[in-house]
Structure 1
Amino acid sequence: MRIAMVTDAWTPQRNGVVRVLTALTATLKAMGHEIGVFEPGAFPTLPCPSYPEIPLALFPGARLAGLLEAFAPDAVHLATEGPLGWAGRGWCLERGLPFTTAYHTKFPDYVTARTGLPLDWSYAVMRRFHRPAAATLCPSPSVYRELRERGFPGAVEWSHGVDTDTFRPRGKGMFGLPRPVFLYVGRVAVEKNLPAFLDLDLPGSKLVVGDGPARAGLMRRYPEAHFHIVNGDDELARAYSDGDVFVFPSRTDTFGLVMLEALACGVPVAAFPVTGPRDVVDGAAVGVLSEDLAGAARAALAIAPDACRAHAARFSWGAVARQFLTRLRPFGPAAQKGAATTQAG
């Protein structure tokens, strides 16, 4: 199948959405599908306000239309709600073609955190974007329930995965810090709620691995914490493995792929009992969820690394990709082939 993946998030950006999409497209290609990725690198861009590391395509409608026509997809998936997502939506609607979308990020919560605009306004925009979609893929049961409650009728469940070949225990000592090492990996931005971690009274060391617009300010505010940037998945896996507990202070993530990557490296999780952590950790003896984040972090020290690794192994990218394919709404030759197969059966 020829699948058009339209996304405002792509390399060299470093975030969970990019990690999910690059892993998904690689898996789909390995399964024999042809994937066309339509991302900001093919367009003139401007920096995203308050987040200059993210480029936004500038007036992409006409160029994206030409690229999509040339690719001639059998199915279209709009992965993000940025300028490219809206342009892809318009292209499909003008031609009466079905498409799917995804809700990777709690964008309304981020807008409210950065601007103070009412949350309901942002959700109204998101409902408008997703309403015509044949399906809106939600990365966890919690997000699915939340979107259904907020009036997203096309919401469907979809999971995420982890590459357990890359993310595996690599041994301790990469940073040479006093133990125990309480670790955070991910974007360093206001919505990640990092002060809730860095303000904790914990023994040993606090380690933050990642980059983002809040990094410089947090480094000044918390000189006793350790901040590092790593390059490539191999180095990232070594960084995860050096932690004793992965502390995830975010209250706004839809899933939290970083928690799965930490678990695959044998590192237990401490987090608030909210969307994301509940879907990854709740019900499994691989982490502690509590409003007392310091208590959760200390308690997680007692969790066996082998249990964490075994739990992460349940989340394979093959299963994620197969579920993704069932959510697509093919048209043209692919749809006719599917209909013929159904009639023959």
Structure 2
Amino acid sequence: MPRLTIVTDAWHPQVNGVVRSIETTNRELQKMGVEVSMITPAPFRSAPMPTYPEIRLSLVTPSRIGRMLEEQQPDYIHIATEGPLGLMARRWCLKHKRAFSTTYHTRFPEYVAARLPVPLSWLYAYVRWFHNRGGGCMVATESLRRELAAQGLTNLSLWSRGIDTSLFYPREKTEKPFGLPRPIFMTVGRVAVEKNLPAFLDLDLPGSKVVVGDGPARADLQARYPDVHFTGMKHGEDLARAYAEADVFVFPSKTDTFGNTILEALASGVPVAGYPVTGPIDIIPSGSNAGAMDHNLQIACIAALQASPQAARRLAETYSWEAATQQFFDNVVEAKEQRRRRGLRQRFGIRPRDADSYQAPATE
């Protein structure tokens, strides 16, 4: 049975797409017969992240992460985040010449720059430094792969996402959900500055606007937009029922790398309105009747009212966690193979195209 260790700074009690993706992938990997160990913030002391106290940063030493990795004895190591745990695991892997893969889950440079006066060029230099030493960096969409390649990232591979269509599915709509008149324009996710929520909340739309989720910007936005209904955080069945009440799902973010909430809305039979940016343009094909995209978000929202709930559901059904997890594990295996090829090139000076078939000379 292959053994895999996943190192992630993003974990419970955080509620976001990164945590859900890792958690679901973990379950699917175990179904595939992969023995998964996790290194998460749970056993470590932590400090609140500046400007975003809901996210806590682990206080960890290289030696402790090293001991954990040595005890777990993984065949493969995947580093999911660029935080303290990811940094220490990366350091250990490089020191011990162990292959590892990484994931670019979030637009780390843009998120930091939105909160701190740090130039984007410096932040992208850090991202290149972090990811390019691994055997492979996974990204969620083709458009993001092109974008990061232009920023100098290498060994990029695709890892898509899936959706639980048995939880998120079309349901009978009530006449006045949340006590509000239709149509219901809804967004779901972390209520934070990077989600660009005012672009949605400022729109002049018929019916009602609903925000499902919580985060550091909620109190301010709730005060600024008293006519918008904020439900707070929802999970599981409550979240699925909320999705199914929407007439249009609005995705105002311009910085997400995928958009798991888009899949959840589509699976619920809810057409999506968004900007033509990474995430929406990758999930919703051009000409699809599952939603609408426009550089003018209001135009997209009104057009999405005429889109097809049935088309939305059919599109969601093409995304399975089983296929996404197989893609993930294939990338993990390939990252280790890339490390082997790189070692052969460095040791014996062979050309990249010969590394696949090269046999090292026998030793006494």
Whether these two folds match at TM > 0.5 is yes
Partner of residue 41, structure 1: 42
Assess if the C-alpha contact under 8 Å between 2:213 and 2:234 holds in 1: no
**3-state DSSP of counterpart to 2:204:** coil
Partner of residue 208, structure 2: 205
Partner of residue 317, structure 1: 321
Shift of 1:249: 0.5
Q: Which runs of 5+ in 1 are unaligned?
A: 336-341
The partner residue of 1:191 within 191, 194, 202 is 194
Rg comparison, structure with higher value: 2
Once the two structures are superposed, the pairs formed by residues 1-345 of structure 1 within 5 Å of their partners are 1-173=2-174, 174-283=177-286, 284-329=288-333
Assess if the C-alpha contact under 8 Å between 1:244 and 1:268 holds in 2: yes
Task: List structure 1 runs of 4+ shifted beyond 3 angstroms.
Answer: 329-332
Distance across 2 between alignment mates of 1:90 and 1:298:
50
CA distances 1:201-225 after superposition (whole Å, capped 9, x unpaired): 0011000000110000000000010
Assess if the C-alpha contact under 8 Å between 2:248 and 2:272 holds in 1: yes
Distance across 2 between alignment mates of 1:122 and 1:6:
21
Q: Provide the alpha-carbon RMSD of the alignment.
A: 1.7
Distance across 2 between alignment mates of 1:38 and 1:56:
14
TM-score normalised to structure 2 length = 0.89
**3-state DSSP of counterpart to 1:21:** helix
CA distances 1:2-35 after superposition (whole Å, capped 9, x unpaired): 1100000111101111111111111111112111
CA distances 1:122-172 after superposition (whole Å, capped 9, x unpaired): 100111000111000011101110111110011112211111111112332
Shift of 1:176: 2.9
Greater displacement, 108-117 / 254-263: 108-117
Shift of 1:331: 6.2
Amino acid at match of 1:145: R
Assess if the C-alpha contact under 8 Å between 1:282 and 1:289 holds in 2: no
Distance across 2 between alignment mates of 1:263 and 1:145:
25
Distance across 2 between alignment mates of 1:105 and 1:96:
27
CA distances 1:29-65 after superposition (whole Å, capped 9, x unpaired): 1112111111101211111111111121112422221
Distance across 2 between alignment mates of 1:194 and 1:98:
40
Assess if the C-alpha contact under 8 Å between 1:74 and 1:331 holds in 2: no
**3-state DSSP of counterpart to 1:247:** strand
Amino acid at match of 2:329: L
Question: How high is the sequence identity, in percent, across the aligned residues?
Answer: 51
Distance across 2 between alignment mates of 1:273 and 1:65:
43
**3-state DSSP of counterpart to 1:164:** coil
TM-score normalised to structure 1 length = 0.94
Distance across 1 between alignment mates of 2:8 and 2:222:
32
Assess if the C-alpha contact under 8 Å between 1:175 and 1:242 holds in 2: no
**3-state DSSP of counterpart to 1:255:** coil
**3-state DSSP of counterpart to 2:178:** coil
Shift of 1:194: 0.3
Greater displacement, 303-312 / 168-177: 168-177
Partner of residue 353, structure 2: none
**3-state DSSP of counterpart to 1:55:** strand
Distance across 1 between alignment mates of 2:272 and 2:302:
10
Distance across 2 between alignment mates of 1:4 and 1:87:
14
Change (3 A) 1:304 1:88: same
**3-state DSSP of counterpart to 1:41:** coil
CA distances 1:245-272 after superposition (whole Å, capped 9, x unpaired): 0001101110011001100000000001
Partner of residue 338, structure 1: none
Distance across 1 between alignment mates of 2:179 and 2:66:
52
Assess if the C-alpha contact under 8 Å between 1:43 and 1:60 holds in 2: no
Distance across 1 between alignment mates of 2:294 and 2:336:
46
